[in-house]
Chains A and B, each alone.
Chain A
Amino acid sequence: MTAIATKYETVIGLEVHCQLITRSKMFCSCSADYSGAEPNTHVCPVCLGMPGVLPVINERAIEYITMTGLALNCEISEFSKFDRKNYPYPDLMKGYQISQYDLPVCHDGWLEIEVDDERRRIGIERVHMEEDTARLLHRTDAVTGEGYSLIDVNRSGTPLMEIVSRPDMRTPAEAREYLVRLRQILRYIGVSDANMEEGNFRCDANISLRPVGAERLGTKVEIKNMNSFRAVHDAIAFEEIRQARMLDAGERIVQETRGWVDERGETVSQRTKEEANDYRYFPEPDLPPLKLSRAFAEAVRAKLPELPAAKKERFLALRLSEHEATALTEDRERAAYFEGVSAALGLEPQRSAKLAANWVLGEVARWLNAGQKEIVDFPLGPEQLAGLARLVEDGKVTPNVGKDVFEKMVTNGMDAAAIVEAEGLAQISGEDDLVEAVRRAIAANQKAVDDYRAGKDASIKFLVGQVMRETRGRANAQVVQGLLERELQEND
């Protein structure tokens, strides 16, 4: 990659198609939630493309795309319209797709990414609204051996949003980071599940190379069929090397569409892209235009939740580390849980935040990882976890006992104080309560005592451990160590 970086600059733009989670479809009242449904059961004359039917715009979809545009710092078009994109393909029931050509709902925004400690703004050219296509399955006839296709129209007409970046990315890592941040925002604002594996977040990449320092863009190649963030990264990394080798050999890059073949780890040519304007776009005569006023956009903006970047800044201001702030804002639910714990702790804000972060990223994260679960599955409420954190923080139980209590809580759902009370797990800090156990440890471990007196300071840790064992971990380790030192000196 470094060889490429010194000679050529890679220019990457991404097009993301993302399904909106509306209840009904974009232009008809069929349910948009078709996952797991029998084929062709979420269909009506409109989404089947019967002659003479009329589409009607789903208002929530327009609200969702506006939310997306605002979250991506876009301008919201005060005048916007739909257009017909014509192409014959069996997944397109009407022979055209209702899309937006020259007046998209949102345009000219940006998304900030951070790679290798460098923050960069990636331009968003446009976000437009369109409808999804039917799903095709390809089969082979058992008798004739000929291939044929099956169509499930359930997906046809579900609201699809296309987010087009400017060619502002320069490395595969930046492209991946852009997708990670984009997905995070879409999930935060609750407009899409944005799940690439499930096909409701799809990405095509445009990539070209140009000599370092050159202004003119090279011939671009479009890559499709990437089904994970890793695939996007790997496909771009493959393609920049392929193109660099061609340029080095004096060959010309052909403008074409290439498909990523994951098993082979390479892109292969699909078809040359001739005559780009063959879609014959024209204004959709069945849909009057959209006039989205400033007031409408501002009303939508007021409904936006705090976005991940702003949240992270706020967490950093609470003196959390970069790592902590990033991890806690990864998804909205985790951030909300953390804030719940922090608020319930009720200490000075920075101390509450630090303590809550330690537990949420420590014991809670470990428990979630072990069970491959999400924070929404976590059985303890924020107040319950805060209750435990306070017991440890206030010295009512030792840190080790705290971890045991945590395990008991997630199993039986009881509050920390009740478990400590019922099982007698409170920390023992009184010297009078510990001195007998300390003397017994000294009497029973002559070798460690001798070692300590011979100058092996570490031996005292062993003796502390013996006292902890006898008290089932409840003893205050510092008090025990102090007592041990005193007893060992007195008996010198």
Chain B
Amino acid sequence: MALTSAEVLHIARLARIALRDADVERFTAQLSGILDHFAALAAVDTEGVEPTAHPLPLSNVMRDDLVAPSLSQAEALANAPQAEDGYIRVRAVLE
């Protein structure tokens, strides 16, 4: 299945990845190859087969509604690129 370069640019934008023109060409070929692999899977007759929601034979794995201690504010902010007044600071969010 051949992707267009416009589709690759769109996917890149959703993933927040900046691509050079040469990259677009390379990834268009590579991603198309990956989709071809899925096309092989899609060819299998799945008529009457229940979709798999989860690979493990588990269900209803739940915990009691109990509170456990959280991290301290200092620990929570330790990996933040920037912090201010106890908050994580980031670049302006554009609407």
Residues from chain A with Cβ under 8 Å of B70 in the complex: 30-31, 41-44
Q: Is the CB of A59 within 8 A of B92?
A: no
Q: Which residue of chain A has the shortest Cβ distance to B88 in the bound complex? A: A151
Contact at B56–A147, with CB atoms within 8 Å? Answer: no
Evaluate contact between B93 and A40: CB separation under 8 angstroms.
no
| Contact across chains for A59 and B56 when beta carbons are under 8 A apart | no
Q: With the chains together, A3 CA to B92 CA distance in Å?
A: 44
* A window 269-325: CB within 8 A of B: 270-271, 278, 280, 283, 285, 287-291
Closest to A80 in B: B53
Q: 8 Å CB contacts to A: which residues of B40-84?
A: 53-56, 58-68, 70-73, 76-77, 84
The answer to whether the Cβ of A48 comes within 8 Å of any Cβ in the partner chain is: yes
Task: Indicate whether A40 sits within 8 Å of B65 (C-beta atoms), given known contacts A278-B14, A289-B59.
Answer: no
Q: Are B71 and A24 in contact (CB under 8 A)?
A: no
Chain B at the A interface: SS class:
loop
Contact, CB under 8 Å: A151 / B87: yes
On whether the beta carbons of A270 and B95 are closer than 8 Å, the reply is yes
Known: A40-B87, A149-B93, A152-B87. A58 touches B59 (CB 8 A): no
Task: Please tell me if the beta carbons of B77 and A40 are within 8 angstroms of each other in the complex.
Answer: yes
Q: How many A-B residue pairs have CB under 8 A?
A: 123
Identify which of A29, A41, A103 contacts B66 (C-beta below 8 A). A29
Cα A149 to Cα B56 in complex, Å, equals 40
B85 at the interface (CB under 8 A from A): yes
Assembled-state Cα–Cα distance A287/B63 (Å): 12
CB-CB < 8 A to A151: which residues of B? 87-90
A24 to chain B minimum Cβ distance, whole angstroms, is 5
- Size range of the chain B interface in the assembly: 20 to 34
Contact, CB under 8 Å: B67 / A30: yes
Complex CA gap A138/B63 in Å reads 36
Q: Is the CB of A24 within 8 A of B88?
A: no
Hey, what's the 0/1 contact readout for A146-178 against B, CB within 8 Å counting as 1?
111111110000000000000000000000000
Q: Which residue of B lies closest to A134 (CB)?
A: B88
A61/B65 in contact, CB under 8 A: yes
CA distance A58 to B56 in the complex (A): 20
B8 to chain A, nearest CB (A): 15
Given the interface contacts A62-B62, A150-B85, does A288 sit within 8 Å of B54 by beta carbon? yes
Which chain B residues border A150 with CB–CB below 8 Å? Answer: 84-85, 87-90
Q: Are B61 and A29 in contact (CB under 8 A)?
A: no
Which of B53, B85, B90 has a CB less than 8 Å from the CB of A81? B53
Indicate whether B26 reaches chain A with its CB closer than 8 angstroms.
Answer: no
Residues of B within 8 A of A88 (CB): 14, 16
- What chain B residues lie within 8 Å of A61 (beta carbons)? 65
Q: A283-B53, A289-B54 are in contact. Are A59 and B63 (CB under 8 A)?
A: yes
Contacts of B72 in A (CB 8 A): 41
B59 and A39 form a contact (CB under 8 A):
no
Q: How far is the CA of A58 from the CA of B61 in the complex (A)?
A: 9
A62-B62, A146-B92 as given contacts; A289 in contact with B68, CB under 8 Å: no
Residue of A nearest to B55 (CB): A285
CB distance from A75 to the nearest CB of B (A): 18
The answer, yes or no, to whether A453 is at the interface (CB within 8 Å) is no
Q: How far apart are the CA atoms of A79 and B66 in the complex, in Å? A: 25
Contacts of B20 in A (CB 8 A): none
B14, B16, B56, B71 pick with most chain A CB within 10 angstroms? B71
Query: Does residue A187 face the partner (Cβ distance < 8 Å to B)?
Result: no
Asked whether A148 lies within 8 Å of B95 as measured between CB atoms, the reply is: no
> Is the beta-carbon distance between A56 and B66 smaller than 8 angstroms?
no
The answer to whether A90 and B90 have CB atoms under 8 Å apart is: yes
- With a CB–CB cut-off of 8 A, which chain B residues contact A278? 14
Q: Tell me which residues across on chain A come within 8 A of B54, comparing CB atoms.
A: 81, 283, 285, 287-289
The reply to whether the CB of A53 lies closer than 8 angstroms to some CB of chain B is no
- Measured between beta carbons, the chain A residues less than 8 angstroms from B60 are 288, 290-291
- For the complex formed, measure the closest distance between the CB of A341 and the CB atoms of chain B, giving whole angstroms: 35
**A contact residues around B93 at 8 Å (CB):** 89-90, 136, 138, 149
Whether B63 pairs with A29 at a CB distance below 8 angstroms is yes
Contact of A57 among B62, B66, B68, B95 (CB under 8 A): B62
How far, in angstroms, from A291 to B60 measured CA to CA in the complex?
A: 6
Report Cα–Cα, A153/B86, bound state, in Å: 10
Measured between alpha carbons, how far is A405 from B53 in the docked complex, in Å?
67
Closest to A83 in B: B53
Residue A206, interface by CB 8 Å: no
Per-residue A-contact encoding for B13-39, CB less than 8 Å = 1, 0 else? 010100000000000000000000000
Q: Check B61–A288 contact: CB distance below 8 A.
A: yes
Which 3 A-B pairs give the minimum distances between C-beta atoms? A29-B68, A150-B87, A60-B65
Other A-B pairs beyond A48-B71, A59-B65, 4, CB < 8 Å? A38-B73, A43-B70, A150-B85, A280-B14
Supply 28 A–B pairs (Cβ within 8 Å), ascending by A. Answer: A22-B65, A23-B67, A24-B68, A29-B63, A30-B70, A31-B67, A39-B73, A39-B86, A40-B86, A40-B88, A41-B76, A44-B70, A45-B71, A56-B61, A56-B62, A57-B62, A57-B63, A61-B65, A88-B16, A150-B88, A150-B89, A150-B90, A151-B88, A270-B95, A287-B61, A288-B58, A288-B61, A291-B60
**What is the interface of chain B, defined by CB distance below 8 A to chain A?**
14, 16, 53-56, 58-68, 70-73, 76-77, 84-93, 95
